[in-house]
Amino acid sequence: MPCIVRAVAVSMLLAYQVLLQAVINQYLNNDLNIFRQLLIFKNKACIISKYKNSVDHQKLRHYNAAVQCLQKLQHPGSCFPHSTTFWFGTSCSHWNFSTKSRHQQTIRIDGKAIAQEIKDEIKAEVELLLEHGLRAPHLTVLLVGSDPASVVYVRNKAKAAEYTGITCEVLRLPESVSERAVLREINFLNSLPDVDGILVQLPLPPQINKRTICDAVRPDRDVDGFNVLNVGRFCVDQEAFMPATPSGVLEIMKRLKIETFGKNAVVCGRSKNVGMPIAMHLHSNGNATTTICHRNTPQEELVKFTRAADIIVTATGVPGLITSDMVSEGVIVIDVGITRMLSDQGQARLVGDVDYAGVSKKASMITPVPGGVGPVTVAMVIKNTLIAYKNTLQKNSLSDQFKK
């Protein structure tokens, strides 16, 4: 039976090789977006197949990816199922292609899958460190008060750290704690040699100055990138920790190979921790023509900018800010906004800045809320902790060499 299965599978592969090449040649110009992604990720496509132990895995993956593309382009009414899911392993995006016309395919970016890949990469590195007799990296999270959203965020970070093998400690302080007491805790953590990353969960109670607290964290342990020295170094294109949320946005774009060179990018929101870093990176490193819109941008101007945009990143916390009439066909939309709202039944739900149902009909790529940027943000905090640890190892190694 295994021989028969292998023979059938190999025959299928050979039969479709010619077809695949012909279809790519025929549709490459008309369906550039789809086939660009196919060609970029063809060596990384990952599907589950009962033949996976019987034939060349890579060729079989290519075949399946091509056939699934073909069913969307050529046979929307055939015996193929209409709902097709593409899994791209190294990009780790779960791309759900709708059954719209050939020029209106929408890719739903799965942030959970991307985050999982990042965590798997970190886990492999941590295991390697442990195999060489080194300790695991350590992250300490400072949580002041009991804000429900903050508690959830901290729990997610602790779970992600545990999965990767990074040790994580959560220090909880009461809502009424003084600023001096918080500073005392941070200074103590700064002095510990086995603490690699320090994260102060925001927001803080009104009696505590956020800037004072964030600047108290050692820049080399500031895995959330809020220390003013890290912000300044980033602004002048020097090595520094970037805040986790913009870092997550850029990681998504990097892993999906989203082209920014010469593109029109609009960033909605100008916060120092999210909007501004994203806009600066797109402008300086991404070579995009970048426009920042904010609460004082007139609505008619906002619409004008978003309609002309190739890429929209929105981080305002204003539900439904971006609607379908405000975007062009094929736009790429990254929704960073997250707002907790009550449904008609009184149940809490998370929504973004984008009217997902409407905008997804026109976008070429879009992140959902939840399940988009959020999981990647958490993963980037863990990645920054590993980076901080490796930087410390490098410094210690150089110091030891100097002493010799």
Active-site residues: which are they? 157, 201, 224
The phi, psi pair for 99, rounded to 5°, reads -100, 40
Specify burial of residue 314 (Cβ count, 10 A radius: 0-12, 13-18, 19+): buried
Strand partners, 290: 265
Q: Please, what is the angle between helix 148-164 and helix 373-403, to 10°?
A: 50
Query: Can you give the C-alpha Rg of the chain in angstroms?
Result: 24
Kindly report whether the peptide bond that precedes residue 370 is cis, defined as omega within 30 degrees of 0.
yes
Q: Assess contact for 291 and 269: CB atoms under 8 A.
A: no
Q: At what angle do helices 275-284 and 228-235 cross, to 10 degrees?
A: 20
Residues in the chain: 404
- What is the DSSP track for 311-367? EEEE-S--TT-B-GGGS-TT-EEEE---EEEE-TTS-EEEE-SB-HHHHTTT-SEE-
Contact 241, 231 (CB under 8 A): no
